[in-house]
Amino acid sequence: MPRKAREWKPGTYHVYCRGNRKQNIFLEDDDKRKYLSYLLDTKEKYPFKLHAYCLIPNHLHLLLESDVVPLNKILHTQHTRYAIYFNNHHDCVGHLFHGRFGATYVDTTSYFIGLSKYIHLNPTEAGLTISSASYLWSSYPFYLEGIDNPLIDKERTLSYFPNQDLTLYKEYLDRKEEMILLKKSLSEKF
């Protein structure tokens, strides 16, 4: 029996997906490069805006906006192609991802900017780095350095800060990152 089609309406979504049995979906940097390369190809085939992304070894986050192409078409194309690559490259078989991707509709400005913060600080939260700004597999360094990337649309995120000031965006994220690090250091002491 086929599963129920996912409901979709144009707009912005927080897309998240993790590995089957919580296993890693990225084993090496080449895997992350390939995922991003495929994502750019998918974006060219099915236009969408990607406001933020973060690739963690066992899961990923995308802040993705599509007004024309349904999310399931975009993600089916992307994840099928990547899973085939992964299984061939690592001599694996079976499902790579745990079920269908998750997606939450983003309906307010505060939710949008909060998700941008959450996605960009995910490497610190996951304990992969002390500074998410230096994590290579996130859109955050492209924001901070003002580097253009054809995959990322930064305009909407920065439009919520006066004069689209990158410094203000960084300060906004730094306050939360300091709290994460303080919480981690306290938990290690007790």
- pLDDT-derived band of residue 4, with 50, 70 and 90 as boundaries? low
Q: How confident is the model at residue 151 (pLDDT cuts 50, 70, 90)?
A: very high
How far does Cα 145 stand from its chain's mean position? 18
Q: Which amino acid is at 173?
A: L
pLDDT band at 48 (very low <50, low <70, confident <90, very high): very high
What's the mean pLDDT in 157-180? 85
Query: Can you give the pLDDT at residue 190?
Result: 44
Q: Are 37 and 55 in contact (CB under 8 A)?
A: no
Where is 179: in which H helix or E strand? Answer: helix 166-189
Residue 5: predicted pLDDT: 66
Residue range 30-37: average pLDDT? 98
Amino acid at 58: N
| Longest CA pairwise span in the chain (Å) | 53
Run of H or E including 51: strand 49-56
Q: What is the dihedral of CA 142, 30, 58, 11, to 10 degrees?
A: 50
Domains of the chain: 11-189 (3.30.70.1290)
Mean pLDDT, all residues of the chain: 90
164: pLDDT strictly greater than 60: yes
| Residue 185 reports pLDDT greater than 50 | yes
pLDDT digits (tens, 9 = 90+) for 115-132: 999 999 999 989 899 888
Q: Above 50 in pLDDT, residue 134?
A: yes
DSSP-derived secondary structure for 19-38 = BGGG--S--SHHHHHHHHHH
Token pair in block for residue 144: 């901070």
pLDDT of 145? 86
pLDDT digit string, tens, across residues 59-87: 999 999 999 999 999 999 999 999 999 99
